[in-house]
Amino acid sequence: LAKTTQPISMDSYEGQEVNITCSHNNIATNDYITWYQQFPSQGPRFIIQGYKTKVTNEVASLFIPADRKSSTLSLPRVSLSDTAVYYCLTRDSGAGSYQLTFGKGTKLSVIP
């Protein structure tokens, strides 16, 4: 079965750049890759979205290689408030169905 995979957890010190990679081997053609942030007891919140190459906004950058089978969320100079779970979302074309699929989430812990 097609899967969207990402590391379970990551630790980082404050002020460092953090890169979280998501693997989505069966991403549907023409579909976008979206990243969400979730704090405890809250719903996920949109961070960034892209289709190919690089996208940057005021909080993050998203790098997508030409084959689009993976994507990397980059958080510059993280702070304690960036401690959260980060999810990638794609539309998976595996098994003949096109299903919105979240990765299992990467728990980022920022250390003072």
Partner 1 sequence: DTAVSQTPKYLVTQMGNDKSIKCEQNLGHDTMYWYKQDSKKFLKIMFSYNNKELIINETVPNRFSPKSPDKAHLNLHINSLELGDSAVYFCASSQDGAGVGRYEQYFGPGTRLTVT
* Residue 102 burial by Cβ neighbours in a 10 Å radius (0-12, 13-18, 19+): middle
Q: How many residues does the chain have?
A: 112
Considering only 2, 10, 55, 85, the residue that binds partner 1 (CB under 8 A) is: 85
State which amino acid sits at residue 88. C
Q: Would you count residue 61 as binding partner 1 (CB under 8 A)?
A: no
Q: Would you count residue 43 as binding partner 1 (CB under 8 A)?
A: yes
Report whether 36 contacts 89 (CB < 8 A).
yes
Q: Would you count residue 46 as binding partner 1 (CB under 8 A)?
A: yes
Applying CB under 8 A, which part among 15-23, 38-46, 55-63, 64-72 lies near partner 1? Answer: 38-46
Q: What does the DSSP 8-state code read for residue 27?
A: B
Q: Across-strand partners of 90?
A: 101
Q: How far is the CB of 8 from partner 1 (least distance, A)?
A: 10
Residues that bind partner 1 (CB under 8 A): 31-32, 34, 36, 38, 41-46, 49, 85, 87, 89-91, 97-102, 104-105, 107
